[in-house]
Structure 1
Amino acid sequence: MQEPKESHGAALKQVLRYIRGTTSLGLLFKRTDKINLMGYSDSSHNVDLDDGRSTTCHIFFLDDCPITWCSQKQETVAMSSCEAEFMAATEAAKQAIWLKELLSEILNTEGKKVLLRIDNKSAIALTKNPVFHGRSKHIHRRYHFIRECVENEQVEVEHVPGNEQKADILTKPLGRIKFKEMRSLIGVQDVKKDNFKLKGENVELSLNKA
C-alpha cells in the first residue's frame, strides 16, 4: 500500500485474471471409512536475494485431498539446503502433531503415526540421528523437535522423489505448464455443479476455492 508502482498494478491484474479464470476449480472431499493423514514438507534454499532466507512450506492430506497448508519465510538463514529442509520438516512436524491430536479427539480413537514425506535424504538422516555433530550443532535447538517426534514414533519420515513432492508448488514461482501440473497433483480439480453426485449414503462434497 505504500509507494505503489505500475508493477504492483500489473501483478494485481494478473491475480484477478487468475481468479476469474479458475472459479470452477476446487477440492473434492469423499466419504471414506479409512482416515489416512499424510504430509509433505519442502523448502527453497536462499531464494530471497535480499536477506538470504529460505521459504518453508508444508501441505497435509486427508486421504487424497489437502486439508491444511502453509508457506512462509524462515526466521533464520539456513547454511545449506539440508538445513533448510530440516527446519521445514520441524515446522511440518508441529502441524502433524496438532492434526493427529485433533483427529483423535474428533474420532475418539488413538492417533496413528503421521507420515511426513521429504525429498532431501540428508535432512531425513538428520531427523533420525540423535547425535549432535558439525553439520547440526549450529542449528537452534527448537528445530530439533522433529527428532523427538521420530524417536517417540509420533511422526515417520520418508523420502519422496522430487517430481512427486506435492509441497513444491508452495516454495517458489513456477512456469505456467509446471504450475498446472503441480496444481493437479495436489488435488485441485474442476468441481462444477454437474459433478456433484449422490449415491445412497455416499455423498461427495465439493468446496469451491476461496
Structure 2
Amino acid sequence: MHSELLALQANGTWSLTPLPAGKTPIGCRWVYKIKHRSDGSIERYKARLVAKGFTQLEGVDYQDTFSPTAKIISVRCLLALAAARGWSIHQMDVNNAFLHGDLAEEIYMSPPPGLRRQGEEHLVCRLHKSLYGLKQASRQWFAKFSNAICSDGYTQSRADYSLFTKNKGKSFTALLIYVDDILITGNDPVSIAATKKFLHSHFHLKDLGDLKYFLGIEVSASKNGIFISQRKYALEIIKDAGLLGAAPIDTPMERGLKLSDKSDLLKDSSRYRRLVGRLIYLTVSRPDVTYAVHVLSRFMHQPRKLHMEAALRVVRYLKGAPGKGLFFSSNSDFKLRAYCDSDWAGCPLTRRSTTGYCVFLGPSLISWRSKRQKTVSLSSAEAEYRAMAGACCELTWLRYLLKDLGLLHHEPALLYCDNKAALHIAANPVFHERTRHIEMDCHYIRDKIQDGYVTTRHVNSVHQLADVLTKPLGKEIFVPMVHKLGVQDIHSPT
C-alpha cells in the first residue's frame, strides 16, 4: 500500500484542493490480490487503490469508455507466425498501466485512507491522471500508449487496433497489447531491443523475457513449434467442481444429446453460471469442448438439472487430459483453408441451426466458432450456405490481419463444405426459387468467389473437421477429428 501511494504521488495522479461548490467527490477503496505463477506458487502480494467509478455520471465525469483489447485470434495468429518463422516472442508488463492516462474531465475523489493529514480534513483529490476503477481509465491508457508507440514509427492495424507493426527495410517488428500485457516479436533483435528501450523511457515496464505465461495461457516453444495450453486453469476448474477424484470420460457431450428445458430448475443457478463462464474462457485453447460449452451457455438464464449434469460431464472429460492444447508447427506454407458445417434445425427449442467453422494457417488452427444462427433455415442447404457465409467473413478479416503481419495471400483461400447444394448456390446466381428468401448479406460469399478471394471445395462428410463444432460425436469419430484439428497433449498423465 505504501509503495502504491508513492507511485501515485510520483506520477502526479492528483493534487489536494478544496472541493468546489456543486461538485461531489467519488469514493475510493483498497483492493488486495495475490498474484500466482503458472505453477501455482505465489509471485507477489498486490495492493491497488481503486476509485468507485460506479458513482460517476455520464456526460459529467466521463464521455466514452470503450477501449480495444487484442482479439484472442490475433494472439494465435501471432504465435503461429512466430512458430513458422522461428522468431522469439518477448513479454512485457506495464506497472500501474491505467495511471498513465491523462484526464480531460474535472473529477474529484475523496482522499484514500492514510493520506489525510491533520489540518487537511476539508481537502479532496483533484485527479489529473486516470485511476483504476474510473469509467474512462482503460480508454485513456490505450490512447496514451497508441500515441506513444505510433510516434516511434509503428503503424496501427485496421484489422485489430491492438496490433502495431513496424517495417524498416528487411526489419519487421510486431507488437500486440492486451490492456497492460505486451507481446513483441519480429525478425530483428536490434529493433525489438530499441522498442523495449523506447517503451521504458515512457512507461514503467517489467521485462518478463521470453513468453511463458500470458492471460492464463501457458506457452511452450521448441524448434518444432509452439504449444499453448491452459492446464493450470483446467485443473482449477476440475478442483472447483469437486471432481479431482472422478473417473475421466472420452467425449465432452453424449452422442446425439439435445438439451432442452424439460427437467427441474436448479435451486442455486450461480454455481452453473460460474462453471460455464469459466469453461467459456477455456475454449481459447480447447476447440474440442467449444460445441459443448456453446450449447451449455444457451441456458444461463434458467439452468436445469440436466444442464448441470452435462456441464459436469465436460469437466470429467477435461479430467482425462487437462493439459491438452493447440500446437503451432514450425513447418508452414501459410495457406489459408477453412472448413464449415451446420447442424440443420439442431436446437430443439427454436429449431435454428448451428454454424461451425474452423480456419487453418498452414497446418495450424488459428480460428474456430460454434454459434446458433439468427434465423430458422428452411433446408439443410440454406443452413450450410449461411455457415459458408460466416466462414467467408472470417477468412476476409484474417486476410487483412495477416497482411498487416507481413503475410500476403495472392492465392484464394480454400473453403471446404460437405453440402453440394450449398456449393452450387454459392457459385451459381440463377437458383432464384431456392434463394429468394435468404437475406442479401448471405450472398456476400458470391462476391468473394467472383473476386478471387475464396475458392469453394467439396469435402466428404467423413473428413469434415467442422463436425466437432456443430454436433456431439461418438468417441470413434470425435478422437481422430480432434487430433486433426491440432489438439495435442505434451504433458505426462495426471
Give TM class, smaller chain. Answer: 0.7 to 0.9
What do you get for the CA RMSD once the two structures are aligned? 1.7
Following the alignment from structure 1 to structure 2, what is the Cα–Cα distance between the partners of residues 68 and 88? 15
Change over 3 Å in CA distance of 1:36–1:49 after alignment to 2: same
Q: Is contact 1:100–1:112 with CA below 8 Å preserved after alignment? A: no
| Residue among 305, 320, 332 paired with 1:21 | 320
- Following superposition, the deviation at residue 132 of structure 1 comes to 5.0
Number of equivalenced pairs: 193
Following the alignment from structure 1 to structure 2, what is the Cα–Cα distance between the partners of residues 175 and 32? 31
| Residue among 454, 462, 477 paired with 1:178 | 477
Range with greater deviation from structure 2 (80-89 or 22-31): 22-31
Q: Is contact 2:358–2:368 with CA below 8 Å preserved after alignment? A: yes
Q: Is contact 2:416–2:458 with CA below 8 Å preserved after alignment? A: yes
Range with greater deviation from structure 2 (19-28 or 154-163): 19-28
Following the alignment from structure 1 to structure 2, what is the Cα–Cα distance between the partners of residues 34 and 162? 25
Following the alignment from structure 2 to structure 1, what is the Cα–Cα distance between the partners of residues 383 and 320? 35
- 1:150-193 deviation line (CA, Å, top 9, x unaligned): 01111110101110100011001112332212212222122238
Following the alignment from structure 1 to structure 2, what is the Cα–Cα distance between the partners of residues 12 and 5? 11
- Following superposition, the deviation at residue 9 of structure 1 comes to 3.1
- 1:8-31 deviation line (CA, Å, top 9, x unaligned): 332232122112222232221122
Change over 3 Å in CA distance of 1:123–1:108 after alignment to 2: closer
Q: Tell me the equivalent position of 1:131.
A: 430
Following the alignment from structure 1 to structure 2, what is the Cα–Cα distance between the partners of residues 33 and 6? 46
- 1:63-95 deviation line (CA, Å, top 9, x unaligned): 122110001011111111111111110010000
Q: Is contact 2:417–2:459 with CA below 8 Å preserved after alignment? A: yes
- 1:37-67 deviation line (CA, Å, top 9, x unaligned): 1100100111122221110111001112211
1:34 alignment partner, SS class: coil
Q: Is contact 1:56–1:72 with CA below 8 Å preserved after alignment? A: yes
| Residue among 139, 143, 148 paired with 2:442 | 143
Range with greater deviation from structure 2 (22-31 or 166-175): 22-31
Mapping 1:7-18, distance limit 5 Å: 7-18=306-317
- Following superposition, the deviation at residue 110 of structure 1 comes to 4.8
| Residue among 353, 366, 372 paired with 1:54 | 353
Q: Is contact 1:40–1:165 with CA below 8 Å preserved after alignment? A: yes
Following the alignment from structure 1 to structure 2, what is the Cα–Cα distance between the partners of residues 151 and 83? 20
Q: Is contact 1:37–1:62 with CA below 8 Å preserved after alignment? A: yes
2:435 alignment partner, SS class: coil
Q: Tell me the equivalent position of 1:158.
A: 457
Following the alignment from structure 1 to structure 2, what is the Cα–Cα distance between the partners of residues 36 and 108? 10
Range with greater deviation from structure 2 (67-76 or 108-117): 108-117
Q: Is contact 1:100–1:111 with CA below 8 Å preserved after alignment? A: no
TM-score calculated relative to the size of structure 1: 0.85
1:11 alignment partner, SS class: helix
Q: Is contact 1:27–1:189 with CA below 8 Å preserved after alignment? A: yes
Runs of 5+ unmatched residues, structure 1: 194-210
- Following superposition, the deviation at residue 3 of structure 1 comes to 5.2
Following the alignment from structure 1 to structure 2, what is the Cα–Cα distance between the partners of residues 164 and 33? 21
Following the alignment from structure 2 to structure 1, what is the Cα–Cα distance between the partners of residues 407 and 464? 31
Following the alignment from structure 1 to structure 2, what is the Cα–Cα distance between the partners of residues 6 and 98? 40
Tell whether 2:344 aligns with 1:42.
no
Q: Tell me the equivalent position of 2:389.
A: 90
| Residue among 365, 386, 391 paired with 1:66 | 365
Change over 3 Å in CA distance of 1:101–1:187 after alignment to 2: same
Following the alignment from structure 2 to structure 1, what is the Cα–Cα distance between the partners of residues 325 and 444? 34
2:455 alignment partner, SS class: strand
Q: Structure 2: which amino acid aligns with 1:38?
A: R
Q: Tell me the equivalent position of 2:491.
A: 192
Following the alignment from structure 1 to structure 2, what is the Cα–Cα distance between the partners of residues 93 and 186? 19
